[in-house]
Amino acid sequence: MARRGVILGGGTAGTLTANRLRRSAGHDTEIVVFDRDDRHLYRPGLLFVPFGMAPPARLARPRARQLLSGIGFHQAGVDRVDLETKTVALDDGETVAYDVLVIATGARLAPEKTECLTGPGSGRTVHTFYSLDGAAALAGAMARFQGGRLVVNLVDLPIKCPVAPLGFCFLTDWFLSRRGLRDCVQLTYVTSLDGAFTKATCNRELSGLLKDKGVEVATEFATGEVDGEGGRLVSYEGREVPFDFAVVVPLHEGAEYVGRSEGLGDPLGFVPTDDQLQAAKAWPGVFVVGDATHLRASKAGSVAHFEGEILVHNVRRYLAGEPPDARFGGHTNCFIESGFGLAPLIDFNDTLDPVTGRFPGPVSLPLLMESRLNHVGKLAFEHLYWHVLLPGRPGESDRNLSSSEVDDDDADLCRARGGARCRGVLRRSPAVERGHGGRDRRRPRHP
Ligand SMILES: Cc1cc2nc3c(=O)[nH]c(=O)nc-3n(C[C@H](O)[C@H](O)[C@H](O)COP(=O)(O)OP(=O)(O)OC[C@H]3O[C@@H](n4cnc5c(N)ncnc54)[C@H](O)[C@@H]3O)c2cc1C
């Protein structure tokens, strides 16, 4: 009898996992994906929508069409998981049994958890680009904005793509410069972190870029209230940042059903997991991938992609009656749009900060420095996402870390896959070595 692999969530992680499993597992494994809606969103494109660089309609595609033939798609919400009986209850009344369960239901926005964030100012003076509707509405508001105090606020981690709010600041600087309004705008980045980013080397580079672009930074600001009518961010300690226009990245939590499923989640609804992506050792056959995990790795599509490789290997071993043996080392990479047609690319893992050098591949992209090539790479990634990454095609998107970043576990996996791909240069830039400020940081000219 065919074993059944049930995948909860048909977003980035669920789709690429399903397709990779279909390619590698035999047809004695039935694969079914469940999602509550039929709109697969290319989320990195949300960053471009407010600046008129991406039409919202282009970013969404039907889910079933992203799945290889032979994979079932069932549109229904997950109501709860019963780990004892190995079943999933759906909100359409059906109950589905599984042999292997992959949880890929991501992270959800929880604006209701911040006082007044969904209040009267929402959609007028307070916006977000973290949802498709929000980004589309923000496009109109940005086009109408004539000047004043604009704040970008990261309420707290974890969030999807922790560099996206910084990218938003940089693109705002570029967008307003292009419209001749930059001098009429006080642009402030307000973050709960103690710097622009969590990784030290990256923090130095990005803080320098913010400074060069005249973006003020308020750190360690624990937003307690977003008062859209009064035009104030208020922290739990009583600090205030006034604004005329706020772009807020709200708190994130795991899917709600996780909290209803005994033994599955942590208090925020994320799913605890080990580095083999098993949700809990007590429940063999339950795996978790992507934003739904409680891992300290960034919540990013690239992470979902690298995790997917580990996950599929371990699921296949589990189905073959062998113990999982591949481990995820936190590999993450991300382009950061910095405006004026430029972007740095960062690449790091749990044990190594972002490094300089070149990302291995035929187009060797520069790491941790602004370049036009990276910006073009970021734009081209949309095509790669739909046609290489999501279908789970082996190839360019599988390129691994530069050797500088390969920890033992990644190196093992890399060797197992023919380690020639693991090459690169370990070299920190002189500016990073001696601390920020060693570089000419004049604002690039308008394109
Ligand atoms: C503005 C923005 C920019 C970004 N830029 C980048 C970038 O440049 N690079 C990068 O690597 N990453 C980026 N990301 C992050 C990336 O999009 C996510 O990390 C990635 O989508 C995570 O994939 P996932 O499958 O875990 O979650 P998702 O893609 O969110 O998928 C989760 C799925 O689960 C479904 N679901 C949830 N609850 C239920 C339920 N109860 N029942 C049924 N289905 C359910 C949802 O409908 C959804 O389809 C960005 C994100 C944002 C918001």
Residue extents of the structural domains in the chain:
3-106+255-319, 111-252, 332-433
In whole angstroms, give the CA distance from residue 332 to residue 355.
Answer: 12
In whole angstroms, give the CA distance from residue 344 to residue 335.
Answer: 6
Average pLDDT over residues 196-203: 87
For residue range 351-365, list pLDDT tens digits in order: 888 888 898 877 889
Average pLDDT over residues 197-204: 87
Report the b/e string of 142-175 with b at 16+ CB within 10 A: beebeeebbbbbbbbbbbbbbbbbbbbbbbbbbb
Q: Is the C-beta atom of 291 inside 6 A of ligand 1?
A: yes
Residue nearest to atom 44 of ligand 1 (CA): 35
Does residue 198 have a pLDDT over 80?
A: yes
Question: Can you identify the CATH homologous superfamily of domain 111-252?
Answer: FAD/NAD(P)-binding domain (3.50.50.60)
CA 12 – ligand 1 centroid, Å:
6
Does residue 298 have a pLDDT over 80?
A: yes
Average pLDDT over residues 245-250: 98
Place of tokens 């795996």: 287
Q: Tell me, what's the pLDDT at 113?
A: 97
* pTM for the model: 0.90
CA distances (Å), 190 to each of 147, 198, 221, in order? 18, 14, 7
CA 151 – ligand 1 centroid, Å:
25
Q: Is the C-beta atom of 130 inside 6 A of ligand 1?
A: yes
Same fold, 3-106+255-319 and 111-252: yes
Confidence grade of residue 395 (pLDDT, cut at 50, 70, 90): low
CA distances (Å), 43 to each of 40, 131, 271, 285, 394, in order? 9, 8, 22, 29, 22
Q: Is the C-beta atom of 43 inside 6 A of ligand 1?
A: yes
Does residue 369 have a pLDDT over 70?
A: yes
Average pLDDT over residues 316-323: 94
Q: Tell me, what's the pLDDT at 413?
A: 34
Does residue 282 have a pLDDT over 90?
A: no
**Who has greater pLDDT, 109 or 408?**
109
Q: Is the C-beta atom of 14 inside 6 A of ligand 1?
A: yes
Does residue 320 have a pLDDT over 70?
A: yes
Q: Is the C-beta atom of 127 inside 6 A of ligand 1?
A: no
Confidence grade of residue 254 (pLDDT, cut at 50, 70, 90): very high
CA 292 – ligand 1 centroid, Å:
9
Of 309, 301, 325, 287, the closest CA to residue 382 belongs to 301
Pairing of strands 107-109, 252-254: antiparallel
Of 233, 211, 220, 247, the closest CA to residue 125 belongs to 247
Q: Tell me, what's the pLDDT at 327?
A: 96
For residue range 16-26, list pLDDT tens digits in order: 999 999 998 77
CA 386 – ligand 1 centroid, Å:
14
Best of 63, 105, 168, 249 to mutate for ligand 1, by most ligand atoms within 8 A of CB?
105
Place of tokens 């597992």: 25
CATH number of 3-106+255-319: 3.50.50.60
Average pLDDT over residues 229-243: 98
Pairing of strands 232-235, 223-227: antiparallel
CA 193 – ligand 1 centroid, Å:
22
Q: In the predicted model, what is the mean pLDDT of the chain?
A: 88
Does residue 426 have a pLDDT over 90?
A: no
Does residue 398 have a pLDDT over 90?
A: no
CA distances (Å), 22 to each of 25, 67, 279, 308, 344, in order? 6, 9, 21, 13, 35
Residue nearest to atom 36 of ligand 1 (CA): 105
Tokens at residue 100, please?
């292997």
Does residue 434 have a pLDDT over 60?
A: no
For residue range 218-229, list pLDDT tens digits in order: 999 999 999 999
- Decide: residue 204, CB within 10 A, 0-12 exposed, 13-18 middle, 19+ buried: buried
**Least confident stretch, 32-41, 92-101, 106-115, 404-413:** 404-413
CA 425 – ligand 1 centroid, Å:
32
In whole angstroms, give the CA distance from residue 233 to residue 401.
Answer: 39
Does residue 421 have a pLDDT over 50?
A: no
Does residue 331 have a pLDDT over 70?
A: yes
